[in-house]
Amino acid sequence: MTPTAAPTESPTPEPTTAFTPAPGYGPWGSEPVVVAVEAPDDGRDYAALVSEATAFWEGNDSRYLEYEIDYEVDADARDPDLVVRFTDDIPECSGLDDAAGCAPYLTDAWQIDRPETVYVRTGYGDDSTVDIVAHELGHTLGLAHGDEPAELMNATGILYTLPRTNATEKAFPWDDPNFTVHIDDTNASDPVAAREQVRHALDYFEGGAPGMPDNLSYTYVDDPADAEVRISFADSSPCAAGAASCAIAGGYDPDGDGSLETYGSYRVVLVDLDTEAVGWHVGYWTAHYLGAEADDDKPEPFRNATYGERRSEWWA
């Protein structure tokens, strides 16, 4: 039998939406809106960020506005129509004192008092800064919160800061040295002794472990939702195969790079351990999340400890 080639299909083109050119002009008139830029001298090209935001509206006026808009970004313009001012402090804006930006809501020419000012808070990454500028320009074009494009004009959104130091590179990657602790001893072979082991470990750090912060405190709580440190026991490993313990941290990633910049909590899971070794494993992970990720940076009891040393009263 002669094989027959399978028939091929031509892909069906996706439908595209055509937008009718915006009719006429809005409150800013037919001339390009001259935009000046006031910004700190910190090496960033703020004018380029503003230009990217204005280009968005120029390219989408027919889609989201009922008129045509053109801009001319001239950072040092002497007689601008609009000033984008980058600053650490935003004036109170519609009752908000922590806004990322602020701009007048303009729908008619008579409302414009040239030069109008758009305020943008500094400290955000480039993409987020462009989004803030574009959002605030949207208000000057007559768009309110919730108008299309909604992902841009919503009152709230996710913004990322400029790059910050990762938690793994900080000497102390927490906001404060006072920790709340919850112990879930459900699967511990000896719950009372296991709790005592955890207390010995954390008392060691609270008492000023060598090379660790000397102002740590640990308070035990009944509700795990209230705890920054959560200790639990398991019969089988949720970690790597054969691991006697593992830990994971949660926290904050304000610059959006995928790495935590500040820890907010950590969880230690102890896997089918001898009770006498519980304290050592808790102490090991505690040192890790206090900034001593490398074993050489940890206090002496956690460096190359033998089987017996891990089960000793190493905290004494």
pLDDT, tens digit, for every residue of 262-316? 999 999 999 999 999 999 999 999 999 999 999 999 999 999 999 999 999 999 9
> Quick check: bond before 254 cis, omega within 30?
no
pLDDT at 71 > cutoff 50 = yes
Which of 3-17, 67-81, 127-141, 239-253 has the lowest average pLDDT? 3-17
Task: Report percent pLDDT > 90 for the chain.
Answer: 76
Whether the pLDDT of residue 116 is over 70: the answer is: yes
Q: Where are the domains of the chain?
A: 33-153, 167-310
> Average pLDDT of 83-94?
87
Share of the chain above pLDDT 70, in %: 91
* d(C-alpha 172, C-alpha 174), whole Å: 6
Give the dihedral of Cα atoms 137, 141, 143, 147; nearest 10 deg. Answer: -80
pLDDT at 59 over 70: yes
Report which of residues 129 and 159 the model is more confident about: 129
Q: Do residues 25 and 61 make contact, with C-beta atoms less than 8 angstroms apart?
A: no
Separation CA 36–CA 140 (nearest Å): 15
pLDDT band at 237 (very low <50, low <70, confident <90, very high): confident
pLDDT in tens, 189-209: 999 999 999 999 999 999 999
Please give the average per-residue pLDDT across 3-28, as a whole number: 49
Quick one: average pLDDT of 88-93?
83
Cα 107 to Cα 73: distance, rounded to the nearest angstrom: 21
What band does 60 get if pLDDT is binned at 50, 70 and 90?
Answer: very high
| pLDDT grade for 137, boundaries at 50, 70 and 90 | very high
- Which two three-digit tokens encode residue 167? 């938690």
pLDDT at 163: 87
Query: Is there a contact between 276 and 264 (Cβ–Cβ < 8 Å)?
Result: no
Specify whether the CB–CB gap between 76 and 36 falls below 8 A.
yes
Q: What is the mean pLDDT of residues 180-192?
A: 96
Superfamily of domain 33-153: Collagenase (Catalytic Domain) (3.40.390.10)
Tell which residue, 266, 292, 284, 287, has the closest CA to residue 180: 266
Q: What is the pLDDT of residues 11-21, one digit of tens each?
A: 344 444 444 54
Decide if pLDDT at 222 tops 80. Answer: yes
Report yes or no: 88 and 38 within 8 Å, Cβ to Cβ.
no
pLDDT, average across residues 44-69: 95
Give the per-residue pLDDT at 7. 32
* Residue among 254, 251, 252, 98 at smallest CA distance from 161: 254
Long-range contacts: 160-164, Cβ < 8 Å, 24+?
A: 160/124, 160/125, 160/127, 160/128, 160/254, 160/255, 160/256, 161/123, 161/124, 161/125, 161/128, 161/254, 161/255, 162/123, 162/124, 162/125, 162/255, 163/125, 163/255, 163/257, 164/254, 164/255, 164/261
Joined together, the tokens standing for residue 219 give: 């308070």
Q: What local confidence, expressed as pLDDT, does residue 79 receive?
A: 96
pLDDT greater at residue 179 or residue 12? 179
Position 157 scores a pLDDT of: 78
Q: Cα-atom radius of gyration of the chain, to the nearest Å?
A: 29
pLDDT for 128 beyond 90: yes
Write out the DSSP string of the chain. Answer: ----PPP--PPPPPP----PPPPSB-TT-SSPEEEEEE--SSS--HHHHHHHHHHHHHHHHHHH-SSB--EEE-TT-SS-SEEEEEES-PPPBTTBSS-SEE-----SGGG--SSEEEEEESSB-HHHHHHHHHHHHHHHTTPPTTPSSHHHHSS-----BS----GGGSSS-SS-SEEEEEEE-TT-SSHHHHHHHHHHHHHHHHTT-TTS-S--EEEE-S-GGG-SEEEEEESS-SSSTT-SEEEEEEEE-TT-SSS-SEEEEEEEEEES--GGGHHHHHHHHHHHHTT--SGGGS-GGGSS--HHHHTS-TT-
- For the cut 70, the answer to whether the pLDDT of residue 97 exceeds it is no
pLDDT, residue 138, reads: 95
pLDDT at position 153 over 60: yes
Residue 171, pLDDT > 90, answer: yes
**Looking at domain 167-310, does it have CATH number 3.40.50?**
no
